[in-house]
Structures are given as structure tokens and as C-alpha cells.
Amino acid sequence: MRYNLRHLRVFLTVSETGSVTRAAEISRVSQPAVTQAISRLEGTLGVALFNRLPHGSFLTPAGEIFHRRVQRAFLLLDRVLTEIAPRLQLTLTGSQIDALIAVSDVENFTLAARRLGLAQPTVHRAITQLEQEAQRKLFERTAQGTIATRLGHSLAQAGRLALAELSQAEAELAELHARAAGKIVIGAMPLSRSHILPAAIVKFQQERPAQTILITEGPYAELLSGLRRGDIDFLIGALRHPAPIDDIEQRALLQDTAVMVGRPDHPIFRVPSPALSELAHYPWIVSAPGTPIRNHFDQLFSDQGVTPRQLVESGSLILMREILSQTDYLGFASGGQVRAEIARGLLRPVDFDLSATRRPIGLTTRMGWLPTPAQRLLIEIIEGVA
């Protein structure tokens, strides 16, 4: 849903003054313009934002929800707009934000226009007007593409998060009227996909059967980027220490320990408590370099000056299980990730002390993130499952 930023600012002013007349004076527009801005917002949202009384205009419950989210959106935007050019707080439009974000993402006007479903000159004009109003360049035109400057990147990031706040508002307003809206987007790392999330989602859907949940998978760096951009609501999986960047919050839910596994009739099980040198004779399937579980694997063997014979690198539990079932490969994985396979007798743990690999599993969110009631409920269920 696209919003007129001037209408949103007028809405905030009416909310804070309780007066259309006073809001018109502060916003330097006519009273009919203020009334029209509020009416259009209410029509777009399908809710009444104010109770109109003889002594003023006061927020309805829906208005309170929307006010909180719009305030948060402009706090994000205005912090950057003030640094670039304070006058942008009055002139910036939603179309300019859309164009800025799209060009920043794809670094090309034609591709940005295609993403937005607009003509290329329209996108180019939006960026040109924005730079003229800012009286500075927000993009550098290079042979490699149209690259956002530091301030351009900062404004695009603020715009993404501001739009995410408005999407959260829509979800909360829908919930207020007993409707489901939007998606809860979870960035899921391997352990959570096989152990925590399935049980949590089943329980959540019993309470919120109409709510859509989207599970996003990928390397940690990609998931973290999606979280910080506002595309993902929260991550669940192995926590990083120290945190890779200071605009996220991490909260531990449980501790997990690595485990070595093989097929139930693997030759290694003929050896009681095998030494690492014996384990190194076998090929291994392990996660990709840079992941916490892989770091433990590499450290374990390097500390003993031992090199595993052969490696297959993959984060897929299905691939690991199938390779292990057909070969003499051994697997090195999160204990929680392979718990179900061990319980079903598909894999068997090797008797080897891996207590030193203990690590926290938990949630990662943006700093200051405010979940909707549905998101909060899902997190509470995840915490209970964990």
C-alpha cells in the first residue's frame, strides 16, 4: 500500500494537537486540505482514525496503532533527512522513496523501472528531482552502474525500514478487526528448520489458522542482510559472538552441541570410543566454511594436527542423510538438527566428546524492532518449544 507522506505528517500533527485547525496552521495548509488528507488515509486503511468531537479530534484504537507506527517510520526517515537536507522532510514523496530504494538495490535505472513497473524516464526523473531538492548527489554514475553514495544508501535503508513499519501497521489494524494480513517472514538457519520451527508453526497455526508464514533460507550473511533491510522479521538459529554489527539484537533460547553421525551399520561403530585419527580416515559431509558448526569441525581437527580424508560441503540435512545412508561418509552437524533422524534410527551418533562445541541458538532481530501481536505470539511459542 502506497502512502502520501504529506498526508502522514498531517495525520501526526492532528494526532498530537487534537485539532484540525491547529494542524492546518502548523502544516501551513487549509483546514479542508487537512480534513481531506485524513479522509483519504481512512479510506485507504478502511478504518476510522479519529473520533470527531465538538472539543477536538481524538485517536480511535485503530488511530493509536497507526500513530505509533507512523511515528516510528518518520523517526527513521527524519534522522537521515536532517543530515542530507532538512527541507526534504517537506518535499520527499513516496514515489521518490520507491525509486531510491529500487535504484539502490539494482544499481541500474532500467532494472529499477522494471521492478517498479514504471517507465525508465519516470524513475530517472524521480531521482533527479530528489537530488536537486537535496542539493547533493545521492548516486554516483560509474561504468559499473549507478551506485548509491553513503547518504543515498542511508536514506534507502531508512526508507525500507519506514515502509516496513507501515506494513506492520496494516497487519496490526487487520488484527484489530479479526483479519489476517501480510506475512510473518522468518529467516531460518538449519537447526531451526528441523527442530524448533516445525513444532512452533503447527502450534501457532492452531491459534492463527489464517496467518501466512514465509520461511526464508540461505547463508547467514544473506539472511542478516534481509533482516536489516526489513524484508525479514526475525532470524532463528545459531547466534554469532560477537554480533557482526551493532544494529541487531540477539537473544539465546537454548544451547546446542555438535554431533558426529553415520549410518547405523557404519564400520566406525565397531570401534569403541574412536580416536580423532581413526575418524579422519573416513570422508565427511560438513556445512560450508564460515558457519559456526563448520568452525568447530575445522578447529577440532586442526588442534590435533589431523586432516580429514575428503569433504562434501552442504547445509542440507536431506543431502547429508542420503549420502550417509549409502556410503561410509560421516557427518558433523548440530545435535538439534539431526535429533529426529537419530530418534528414528536413520542415523547413529558416534561416541566422541564434543562438549566443547556447545553454542547458543536463539533469535536475532533489528535493534528496537516492535513486533505485531501475531509476531509476538509466534515468538512466545518458539520460546516455549525451545
What is the Cα–Cα distance from 17 to 50, expressed in whole angstroms?
Answer: 12
Do the beta carbons of residue 227 and residue 234 sit within 8 Å?
Answer: yes
Q: Is 79 left (phi over 0), alpha (psi -120 to 50) or beta?
A: alpha
Query: What class is the 5-157 domain?
Result: mainly alpha
Which segments of the chain belong to CATH 1.10.10.10? Answer: 5-157
Opening angle at CA 345, ends 344 and 346, nearest 5: 95
What is the Cα–Cα distance from 9 to 43, expressed in whole angstroms?
Answer: 17
Which segments of the chain belong to CATH 3.40.190.290? Answer: 258-357
Q: What's the fold here for domain 258-357? A: D-Maltodextrin-Binding Protein; domain 2 (3.40.190)
- DSSP line for 78-129: HHHHHHH-TTHHHH--HHHHHHHHHHHHHS-HHHHHHHHTS-HHHHHHHHHH
Q: What is the pLDDT of residues 320-333, one digit of tens each?
A: 999 999 999 999 99
Whole-number Cα distances in Å, 168 to 175, 182, 370, 373: 11, 8, 9, 10
Tell which CATH architecture fits domain 182-255+361-385: 3-Layer(aba) Sandwich (3.40)
What is the Cα–Cα distance from 383 to 257, expressed in whole angstroms?
Answer: 19
What is the Cα–Cα distance from 178 to 4, expressed in whole angstroms?
Answer: 26
Q: What is the pLDDT of residues 181-237, one digit of tens each?
A: 678 999 998 878 877 899 999 999 999 988 999 999 988 999 999 999 999 999 999
Q: What is the pLDDT of residues 118-158, one digit of tens each?
A: 999 999 999 999 999 999 999 998 888 899 999 999 999 99
pTM for this entry: 0.86
Chain Cα centroid distance, residue 95: 23
Which segments of the chain belong to CATH 3.40.190.10? Answer: 182-255+361-385
